Amino acid sequence: MIRGRRSYVSSPPALSNDAKRLLVCTGNAVSIFSTSTGLQIASLEGHTDLVTTVIVVPATSRAVQRLCYCWTASLDGTIRYWDFSVPELVKKIDIRFPVHSMVIPSILGQPASNEKEPKLFAYFSVEGARKQANGSTALCGHIKKCNLTDSRMGVTLAETNEPEFITISSMGKFFGIRDKRKIHIWKVPALEAELVEIKKITLHHTKKMTVLAFHPTQNIIAAGGKEGVLVVWQLDTGKKKFLPRIGSPLLYFTASPDPTHCSISCADNQIHLVKMPLMEIIKSISGIKLPWSSPELYSNVHNKVAFNQNAGLVALPTESYSIQLYSLYDDREISEVQVCERNHQPGDDVTVVVTIVALSPDGSMMSTAEVKLAEEGLGGLVCLKFWSSAAQNKDFSLTTIVYEPHRDAGISAVAFHPTKRMAVSSSYGGDFKVWDCRDGIRQGNEILQNSSWTCHAVGSYKKKPVTAVAFSCDGPVLAVAAETVITLWDPDPEKNVIVAIMGEAIVPIVNLSFIGNSEYLVAASCGSFKPQLSVWSMSKLSVSWSYKLHVEALACAMDSSSFAALALCPQSKDIKSENSMVQGGDGLILLFNAVDPIPVATWSVRKAKGGTLAFIQVTKSSVEEKTSDEKATELVLAYVTSDHEYVLFDPI
């Protein structure tokens, strides 16, 4: 089992002294990236819980004669000292408190010297307990001092409602915390002198502060709120430079020993390396971006993702109105498509909802559906878009926009033909449409006309809402769910005729898929009282077997008779899992063979509501890190939650 969706922005990163490496807290480890390529080159592993702080020791410190040492802190209650050039662990200190933030003023601003090294002190924001009036205890935050040289905890400086992030000045003379609308500032003492809290400042602001910064040379601090723009101010002249269109709120600004480089961490799980003072982004390191928060009206359709099964990629709708193409095995972004423009502003209302994303089996085509929300009961627009991609770089370009493709009805599903440049869209208005892609016109190297998609056929069944569509494995049959009825069609645009009616489910069908190369079709029906997972025989045109399960997603293997279903755990009784991979879950992944109602394997998973499944192909060499040219592939099952975490299972 492999887990994914590492957060790159849970804590501030740190730049190496030569600015050639960026150290990023990623889960239980620290990932080291090259600033020139943006690729991961090493990692510091050993912590058993979330790493919350990484601090690179300056080259000018007495404590180090080389450029490649750092301290890390973690919720596992340990502090570790590393040589990240190797990389290897040098020292470990157990403080027995979960550390949420750490600063080490003593290593900042001290020139190299041959004198005896003074003791090294750190200040932590840790999770502790507070006694209440009734005698019980409650979790809270503490600011504590620790002697790193002697591995000894010191006094508690302050207590807060929850652990707060500590900010330190560039020369290490002051540090402080934000506490709602207040700021606590301490002056760092010389050697063994007592630490003094010099100021507690209350700002008259209506919102909680998100950022605190110290002036590099003067006793000045600044505090503010969210904004998706980086601004550099020249204080003597009042001039300023902007780095706009970042598209997400800024979380951290990290300076570098090299004044021409810095990094900014954004809420969308991206770190941008910036060249100063030109304010140019020279490289970006992107993790999986956050899903968008949809209005209640679209809560049942948001955050669904699409898969390129052959390449192991997933297409994820994000909060910035874009589609992110992400490699599940490499755990990195491949490309991003801006579906519609949006500049981030903290008060922005959601005006457009991306309801559907679909990929062709070879990954060269993509379709998106979006809805422009009505304002005060007026307006509202449904839009279907088609995109094409060069196989080499996965960058998609827009080829066709269709406004109101099904009159004023919403789009319920989009599916691509497995071998042809053909797609089908369905609507709640009672019809489905078959779309063909016409090749563009070229004259030499000049493109006279881009490829475009046109509607060649329309179908319906008794004007019932069409809730799901699916092509057979090789494409000659199109299954259409007209609410509770499954119908089979010949999708040839010249014909587009109904060939069979398989039968009727108890409640409306929301998911439909052919099971690989078998004669079976699997359907998921959702209702308040009678949800159903059913397997249908196309030769008998009837149900082969079924379960009363609320199924969130289905996935079928292309070249076998296996399929997987993601089901919400029944509230009346628990289904025991003999092969539970994730404990304490609210859902089950069940792996079936189409001919047998007994599951082959089951996994208990968390966050099943809104999750998706897919079988994807990966090369064995990438999994086993072989150096040979072996090109054999294996099948794995990918599970992606609604908040874009993912797990890869071995279905064998």
CA distance 246 to 9: 15
Q: Look at residue 111 in the predicted model and tell me its pLDDT.
A: 44
Q: Look at residue 591 in the predicted model and tell me its pLDDT.
A: 95
Q: Look at residue 261 in the predicted model and tell me its pLDDT.
A: 84
pLDDT digits (tens, 9 = 90+) for 307-338: 998 888 999 988 778 899 998 888 888 888 98
Q: For 33-55, what is the mean pLDDT? A: 93
Q: Which of 109, 88, 92, 106 shows the shortest CA–CA distance to 45?
A: 88
Contacts of 414 (CB under 8 A, 6+ apart): 356, 358, 367, 369, 384, 423, 424, 425, 426, 469
Q: Look at residue 468 in the predicted model and tell me its pLDDT.
A: 94
Work out the pLDDT band at 340, boundaries 50, 70, 90. Answer: confident
Q: Look at residue 423 in the predicted model and tell me its pLDDT.
A: 96
* Burial readout 96-125 (b: 16 or more C-beta within 10 A, e: otherwise): ebbbbbbbbbbbbebeeeeeeeeebbbbbb
Residue 628 reports pLDDT greater than 60: no
Residue 99 reports pLDDT greater than 80: yes
Work out the pLDDT band at 211, boundaries 50, 70, 90. Answer: low
Residue 30 reports pLDDT greater than 90: yes
Residue 580 reports pLDDT greater than 50: no
Work out the pLDDT band at 569, boundaries 50, 70, 90. Answer: confident
Amino acid identity for residue 186 in this structure: W
Q: Look at residue 624 in the predicted model and tell me its pLDDT.
A: 46
Q: What is the pTM of this model?
A: 0.79
- The CATH architecture that domain 2-207 belongs to is 7 Propeller (2.130)
Q: Look at residue 47 in the predicted model and tell me its pLDDT.
A: 95
Q: Look at residue 578 in the predicted model and tell me its pLDDT.
A: 39
Q: Are 67 and 58 in contact (CB under 8 A)?
A: no
Residue 105 reports pLDDT greater than 80: yes
Q: Which range (254-263, 306-315, 342-351, 485-494) has the least confidence?
A: 342-351
Residue 257 reports pLDDT greater than 80: no
Q: Are 290 and 10 in contact (CB under 8 A)?
A: no
Q: Which range (112-121, 461-470, 638-647) has the least confidence?
A: 112-121
Work out the pLDDT band at 650, boundaries 50, 70, 90. Answer: confident
Higher-pLDDT residue of 392 and 645 is 645
Q: Which range (31-35, 47-51, 220-224, 501-505) has the least confidence?
A: 220-224
Contacts of 323 (CB under 8 A, 6+ apart): 315, 316, 317, 336, 337, 339, 354, 357, 366, 368, 396
Average pLDDT of the residues of the chain: 81
Q: For 451-478, what is the mean pLDDT? A: 92
Residue 615 reports pLDDT greater than 90: yes
Residue 210 reports pLDDT greater than 70: no
Q: Which range (39-43, 344-348, 377-381, 435-439) has the least confidence?
A: 344-348
Residue 161 reports pLDDT greater than 80: yes
Domain spans, the chain: 2-207
Angle (nearest 5°) at CA 289 between 287 and 293:
160
Work out the pLDDT band at 61, boundaries 50, 70, 90. Answer: low
Work out the pLDDT band at 186, boundaries 50, 70, 90. Answer: confident
Work out the pLDDT band at 577, boundaries 50, 70, 90. Answer: very low
Q: Look at residue 542 in the predicted model and tell me its pLDDT.
A: 92
Residue 194 reports pLDDT greater than 70: no
Q: Which range (4-8, 377-381, 468-472) has the least confidence?
A: 377-381
Work out the pLDDT band at 176, boundaries 50, 70, 90. Answer: confident
CA distances from 341 to 2, 206, 319, 351, 442 (A): 34, 30, 11, 11, 29
